[in-house]
Amino acid sequence: MSEQVLVDFRETDFDGLCQVSGRVAVLIAADDRPGAIVRRLDRKMRGAISRALANGAWAKLKVAEALDLKFPAGVPAEAVQLVKLPRKSTGIEARKAGSAIGRELGEAGVAVLAANHPRAADVAFGLTLGSYAFSQYHTDDKTKKGNATFHVDKPDAVRAAAAPMQAVAQGVCFTRDLVNEPANVLTTVGFSDRLAAMRDLGLEIEILDEEQLEKLGMRALLGVGQGSESPSQVVVMQWHGGAKGQAPFALVGKGVVFDTGGISIKPALGMEEMTMDMGGAGVVSGVMRALALRKARANVVGVVGLVENMPDGRAQRPGDVVRSMKGDTIEVINTDAEGRLVLADVLWYAQERFKPAGMINLATLTGAIIIGLGHENAGAFSNDDTLCKAFLKAAAAEGEGAWRMPLGPAYDELLKSRIADMKNSCGRPAGSITAAQFLKRFVKDETPWIHLDIAGVTLPPKATALAPKGATGWGVMALDRLIRDTMES
């Protein structure tokens, strides 16, 4: 597991700042005269801050970008980082500013001069996300991070505001860890073990094994994993923070810990990235962790289907017919369209057992969604306008891109099978839509539902504003915000 940077808040201490040997970060309002503490620090540094702010390079910086003063005169700090952040900045801008600080964080740590900045808690949140590093497999680890101390005028108030944000940050980092782990470490059992450990946070955790899944009739899910030595499992996570007896909100995740494509095997080039095919289950797990850490006042259940899709003498074949828990039969056209088979059973199970007030599933489901939306947005498919609008609003507020995609009966025609109730793959045209239309068949009419295809946003090809290259943890912030806004307000 990656180490999370410790963040603390203390009363602004000028003498303490001047004795820091690591880094010092200073929030500078782009549209205002620097405050008294900054001017005092500038005098200590023999005018280095003033000269930097008068330089054209500072003027060209965008909000939340930073300028480094290396080994400045007058103080022992290895660098003083000037971060452009107006007092009237948005929460998203403040988080990006914090990420800029976190990216440069070294072993010696950082002292952040935030004084009375109203966005200090958001800056701390962004710092935690920006400083994330998945480095445990580097034997010569040069990415060790120190801690962060924020100098603010009212540390108790800022600490209280930051606490729930830091809980969400832990959820995001937990998701990133899961997605970044190699498949020989994060097997289906390794995954469920990590979720079982969250019982210590107050979550109720159940792990359903293959014998139990067979009794439940989850043969669509079991078919995907039957060629693997790693046993298929379903993990149920419950958080009881709302009114007793109130129907929970359900989160469902695809957890294919490695996807070779099965008998319909994928090309070798890029297959190593299929360790991320459990990204949906990773997000659900991160949200549940965040809810428990911040003691959310809501009832939420997370259900993840954990399988490995491998070619083997026992593996599922193209042309096979499987029966889902719902009872519908599915012709397997392509064994690489496996995620929808996993979700079909888990979606039905979540509804049958928990009768949820609403349900959202997440999956790295199709390459087609990347063709349509790139790596900027997840695809959102829904049967309920109210729920979908609420989610899109929450995602926008958290800076996580999502775009609503269509559903419609015309796409059902493409799912018709000659020998079964439906087929699992319809070819390239409208690939992400037909996958969503397939899932919709396993959602009851009375259940408000969203399918999030997160294939493009889970492991983008380059770093993002809040994450280094690798797993982003996309979706944890948006779903936590949705639950806060709709169930806890």
Q: Is the confidence at residue 386, as pLDDT, over 90?
A: yes
Structure-token match 């914090």, residue found: 98
pLDDT band at 84 (very low <50, low <70, confident <90, very high): very high
CB 34 within 8 A of CB 42: yes
User: pLDDT at position 145, please?
Assistant: 87
Domains, in order of start, for the chain? 7-163 (3.40.220.10), 186-487 (3.40.630.10)
User: 123-156 burial, b for 16+ CB within 10 Å, e for fewer?
Assistant: bbbbbbbbbbbbbeeeeeeebebbbbbbbbeebe
If pLDDT is split at 50, 70 and 90, which confidence band does 142 have?
Answer: low
Residue type at position 470: G
Longest dimension (CA), the chain: 81
Task: Give SS3 for 8.
Answer: strand
Q: What average pLDDT does this structure show over 108-134?
A: 96
Task: Give me the helix-helix angle, 120-130 and 155-180, nearest 10°.
Answer: 20
**38-62 pLDDT, tens per residue?**
999 999 999 999 999 998 889 999 9
Q: How many CB atoms lie within 10 A of CB 223?
A: 29
Taking the CA atoms of 258, 444, 421 and 329 in sequence, report the sign of the dihedral they define. Answer: positive
Q: What is the DSSP string of 352-375?
A: HHH--SEEEEEE---SHHHHHHTT
Nearest-5° Cα angle at 182, 179 to 185: 110
- What tokens appear for 37 in the block? 């503490």
Minimum mean pLDDT among 23-37, 39-53, 228-242, 293-307: which range?
Answer: 23-37
pLDDT reading at 31 higher than 70: no
pLDDT at 464 over 90: yes
**Residues with a known catalytic role:** 266, 340
pLDDT band per the 50, 70, 90 thresholds, residue 407 = very high
Residue 135 gets which letter from DSSP?
Answer: -
Rg of the chain's alpha carbons, rounded to an integer? Answer: 24
Distances (CA, A) of 274 to 54, 178, 216, 358: 49, 13, 28, 29
Q: CA of 82: how far to CAs of 12, 319, 473, in Å?
A: 17, 62, 28
Instruction: Quote the tokens at residue 164.
Output: 């729930």
Q: What is the pLDDT of residues 336-346, one digit of tens each?
A: 999 999 999 99
**Paired tokens of 29:** 């309002």
Token digits of residue 10: 């203390």
Roughly what angle, to the nearest 10 degrees, separates helices 279-293 and 155-180? 160
Rounded Cα distance between 441 and 431, Å, is 16
Which band of pLDDT confidence, cut at 50, 70 and 90, is reported for residue 143?
low
Dihedral sign for Cα atoms in the order 262, 180, 204, 478: negative
What lies within 8 Å, CB to CB, of 474 at 6+ separation is 283, 378, 400, 454, 457, 458
Mean per-residue pLDDT over the chain, rounded: 96
Q: What is the pLDDT of residue 91?
A: 97
pLDDT tens for each residue of 419-453? 999 999 998 999 999 999 999 999 999 999 999 99
**Nearest in space to 174 (alpha carbons), one of 142, 128, 207, 139:** 128
- Percent of the chain at pLDDT above 70? 99
Rounded mean pLDDT, 263-268: 97
